[in-house]
Amino acid sequence: MQTRFVEANGFRFAVDEMGEGDHLALCLHGFPESRFSWRFQLPMLAAMGYRAWAPDLRGYGETEPKPAAVSAYVIDRLMEDVAALIDASGAKRVTLIGHDWGAGLAWSFAINRVRPLERLVIMNVPHPAVMAENLRSNPAQRKKSWYIFFFQLPWLPERMMTARDARGVRRAFHEMAVDKTNFTPEVLDHYARNAQRPGAIRGMINWYRGAFRARGRLSEPWPMLETPTLIVWGEEDSALGIELLDGTDAHVRDLTIERLPGVSHWVQQEAPQKVNPILEAWLSTPR
């Protein structure tokens, strides 16, 4: 594995890379993660023949600059980053893989057909139409999503997440994880340090503010998604209920869902021994 810096869309993206060639697997992390969250998947993807990229997304980690304005984090701007990374890679075929906010971005990118995709892999985030409906009609999910509304406040969420050596960031992983084996003190230190970089925590939380205030192209009516799609879902997700999978097949033509009992929201980090065989089998099966 090597880290390279890719100039794209006015940013200098820090990208972990394994493998080579023009068949790209682009892995998008979530909150409050980084490119490091794909450390267990990149070797497997490279062994399958992909050039696997895991970038620090806008506002995160070693990617610079970190814009301060909320308007820099609306979904249209974030999709531009993904398109620019794909273009910079020179890839002829692209599989997009996302978790948490990276999965939300991947859904939007695929639905809007910003660039051709061979396949789409989503981890523990519902289709945006299903999420929108549940936020309207599902009181239990609204309660679980309290943090989305809290993150709309100015400065206080940043203070809370970074106080006491970024205890809020550390707790997000350690308290939610069912199996805490892969969330060692060293791993939690990594995420805490990333959140404490100048401008980072504001940029990270601005993803939520941008989504809340400006829907951009992520809006109804929802076109049918034609890209073959795999959803991998840890069933012990304390932030997103398992019922958020219901109704996805109304929006995705070619859909495969793999549920993992006893696994939390941090699915690809917590249970790579379960996630990687699912990924390998599905990516190897002709569609």
The pLDDT of residue 215 is above 70: no
**Residue located via tokens 């504001």:** 202
- Give me the pLDDT at residue 213, please: 76
Question: Which residues, 6+ apart, have CB-to-CB distance to 2 below 8 Å?
Answer: 16, 17, 18
The pLDDT of residue 7 is above 70: yes
- Give me the pLDDT at residue 222, please: 86
**Residue located via tokens 């109304």:** 250
Q: What is the mean pLDDT of residues 54-60?
A: 98
Q: Tell me whether residue 265 is one of the annotated catalytic residues.
A: yes
Of residues 212 and 83, more confidence is placed in: 83
CB of 179 closer than 8 Å to CB of 123: no
- Give me the pLDDT at residue 212, please: 81
Q: Distance between CA 159 and CA 174 in Å, rounded?
A: 19
153-189 pLDDT tens trace:
999 999 999 999 999 999 999 999 999 999 999 999 9
135-154 pLDDT tens trace:
889 999 999 999 999 999 99
Q: Tell me whether residue 73 is one of the annotated catalytic residues.
A: no
Question: Kind and range of the H or E element at 35?
Answer: none
Q: Distance between CA 154 and CA 137 in Å, rounded?
A: 27
Q: What is the mean pLDDT of residues 46-66?
A: 98
The pLDDT of residue 39 is above 60: yes
The pLDDT of residue 10 is above 80: yes
Question: What amino acid is encoded at 274 in this protein?
Answer: K
- Give me the pLDDT at residue 269, please: 98
- Give me the pLDDT at residue 214, please: 63
The pTM assigned to this predicted structure is: 0.97
DSSP 15: E
Catalytic residue among 16, 81, 100, 237: 100
- Give me the pLDDT at residue 221, please: 79
Catalytic residue among 16, 56, 208, 251: 208
The residue among 237, 279, 281 whose CA lies nearest residue 96 is 279
Q: Tell me whether residue 100 is one of the annotated catalytic residues.
A: yes
Domain spanning 2-284, CATH architecture: 3-Layer(aba) Sandwich (3.40)
CB of 91 closer than 8 Å to CB of 24: yes
222-263 pLDDT tens trace:
899 999 999 999 999 999 999 999 999 999 999 999 999 999
Take residue 244 and report the two structure tokens written for it.
């958020």
CB of 247 closer than 8 Å to CB of 140: no
16-25 pLDDT tens trace:
999 999 999 9
Confidence label for 218 from pLDDT (cuts 50, 70 and 90)? low
Confidence label for 219 from pLDDT (cuts 50, 70 and 90)? low
- Give me the pLDDT at residue 217, please: 55
Average per-residue pLDDT for the chain: 96
Q: What is the mean pLDDT of residues 88-117?
A: 97
Helix (H, G, I), strand (E, B) or coil at 17: strand
- Give me the pLDDT at residue 125, please: 97
Take residue 231 and report the two structure tokens written for it.
């959803």
The residue among 94, 143, 130, 145 whose CA lies nearest residue 231 is 130
